[in-house]
Amino acid sequence: MPAVRLSMRKIKEILRLKFGRGLSNRAIARSVQVSPATVSDCLMRAKLAGVGWPLEPELDEATLEAKLYPPPPPARQPRVVPDFAHLHRELKRKGVTLQLLWQEYKQVHVRDGYQYTQFCELYKRFKGKLDLVLRQDHRAGEKMFTDFSGDGIDIVDPVTGEVQQAELFIAVLGASSYTYAEAFESQELRCWTDGHIHAFEYFEGVAEITVPDNTKTAITHPSRYEPDVNPTYLDMAKHYGTVIIPARVRKPRDKAKLENAVLIVQRWILAALRNHKFFSIQQANDAITEKLEELNARKFQKLDTTRRELFEQLDKPALQALPATRYEFAAWSSPRVNIDYHVELYRHYYSVPYQLVHKRVEARVTASTVELFFKGNRVASHKRGYVKGQHTTQREHMPKSHRRYLEWTPSRILNWAGQTGPATRTLAEKILASRRHPEQGYRSCLGLLRLGKSYGQERLEAACARALVIGSWTYKSVKSILKTGLDRQPLPNERNPNTHKEPLPDGHENIRGADYYQ
């Protein structure tokens, strides 16, 4: 509040009553009829000017007034207002602080620059006028936010006319708000990972941290403190060198950047394409790409720059480089090892070391390979097989007894059988020939080997000869012959060893004939 300028008569009276009579300020105020504050101001001015009582004889009223009410100092040079938009961009760079920017500002504006406290206050006011998404403190190259938009885009089946809604994947960089969008058939895991891969390639780099929403595709068990990330999603993140930190549950401020990006994409892309008909995902993505370029080239409402310009200045130089190879989608599961030391994956069977029987392992399956892990260590790697019911086995996974079994070959088995006798060799040939794959007859032939050790080679040769005569070419038949002693009995009338049964009579009422099955 400006001081009240008193007349010289009242000033002299105040000085007389104070210094000559010793009255209090309140008493003087009542006497002179001014406020106590005015009395205090007059006395303070007199003190600063060195004026006492009684007044010096040569001190006239004009000189006294000049001493008590000197002219105001010349106006100070106006302060130079900082470029707050530039400061806002610079603060997104790594290691840049407001104090560092103030020091650089003062080096240029030594006399006409604001001091640090006022500098910070003015920037705070500027920042408070920006959109919420721009007020977030995101460092360059630090975060990428991802999610599926709540609204999709309609795809019309060109044949049936059926309309299905494609899901819209959105990714946005924290510092520049540079945005990526792409339509996918669904929100399944493969689409989710492909969306991230395509976003990394669109940005030509990878952010340090990826912040997804708590969608079930990405986070299997949401938790504020220890969320469980889908193993395939985590595997993709490791390949690109980014860290997955989901937004906290029911904490919208954690994903304010993303929420704003979703709204902008819905307004400037989906709404702009609302009257277009798309007959494939590719058609929709071609149109989305065109609108996306326009969005990233449009200026902000309250900043004189664009997303693309900020991206080129801030995020792009700070992003991590892309890996040499693109991530290959891998599905993870936790199968249990069966008693035959194989695990079943997509109806195909893969071996692991036999010591892991009944243990649960982790399986990583890509289009070309199958990797199996136990307690974090890889214990097996196979080329992926697509034939259902088939086994893919590595010799080193088998126990020694099973390895010896694999060392048998058809020629080796027949050579062994020939050492026992011609009937045994012929029976082994017929056993192997009766199987679709000769390997399927190995076990029966090895069973004959054990029978020879138990009953002797002579009895085995006789039993095999009887089996050939009766047309029963099985291990069980030979074992039954030996067990019952039929090998010691004379052979029945000679039958054709190359036929399985006696020829059946023609025309019997119980015989339908080949024509019945045509």
> What are the pLDDT digits (tens) for 96-138?
788 888 888 888 888 888 888 888 888 888 887 765 444 446 7
Q: Which residues, other chains included, contact 390 with Cβ-Cβ below 8 Å and sequence gap of 6+? A: 348, 349
Same domain, 101 and 159: no
Residue 361 and residue 473 in one domain: no
Residue 510, pLDDT > 70, answer no
The CATH code of the domain that includes 34 is 1.10.10
Q: What is the pLDDT of residue 224?
A: 56
Q: Are 291 and 118 in contact (CB under 8 A)?
A: no
Nearest to 145 by CA among 300, 257, 309: 257
Could you count the other beta carbons within 10 Å of the beta carbon of residue 124? 11
The per-residue pLDDT for 98 is 86
pLDDT digits (tens, 9 = 90+) for 13-63: 888 888 877 888 888 888 888 888 888 888 888 888 888 788 777 777 778
Residue ending a domain, choose from 354, 378, 403: 403
| Helix intervals (H) in 266-349 | 281-297, 307-310, 316-318
Residue-level pLDDT at 67? 80
Q: What is the mean pLDDT of the chain?
A: 83
Mean pLDDT in residue range 470-478: 89
Q: What is the pLDDT of residues 145-192, one digit of tens each?
A: 999 987 889 999 988 889 999 999 999 998 888 999 999 999 999 999
Cα distances from 495 to residues 113, 269, 329, 359, 460, in angstroms, run 119, 86, 62, 54, 19
Residue 325: pLDDT above 90? yes
Q: Is the pLDDT of residue 506 over 80?
A: no
Q: Are residues 161 and 297 in the same domain?
A: yes
Above 70 in pLDDT, residue 94?
A: no
Count of structural domains within the chain: 5
Q: Are 348 and 457 in the same domain? A: no
Tell me the helices (H) and strands (E) count for the chain, helix number first: 20, 15
124 and 60 assigned to the same domain: no
Range of the domain at 264: 143-318
The distance from CA 373 to its chain's CA centroid, rounded to whole angstroms, is 21
Q: Which percentage of the chain shows pLDDT scores above 70?
A: 86
Question: Among 448, 401, 447, 404, which Cα is nearest to 425's?
Answer: 448
Residue 183 and residue 271 in one domain: yes
User: Do residues 36 and 110 share a domain?
Assistant: no
Task: Give yes or no for residue 438 having a pLDDT over 70.
Answer: no
Clarify whether residues 12 and 118 are in a common domain: no
Query: Could you give phi then psi for residue 181, rounded to 5 degrees?
Result: -145, 145
Residues 228-252 have pLDDT tens digits of 788 899 999 999 999 988 877 656 5
- Rounded to an integer, what distance in angstroms lies between the CA atom of residue 255 and that of residue 271? 23
Cβ(158)–Cβ(279) below 8 Å? yes
Looking at the domain assignment, is residue 75 inside a domain?
A: no
Answer yes or no: is 189 within a domain: yes
Do residue 156 and residue 274 come from a single domain? yes
Identity of the residue numbered 401: S
What CATH number corresponds to the domain at position 291?
A: 3.30.420.10
Residue 389, token pair as written in the block: 């019911």
Judgement on whether residues 466 and 352 belong to the same structural domain of the protein: no
Residue ending a domain, among 318, 347, 364, is: 318
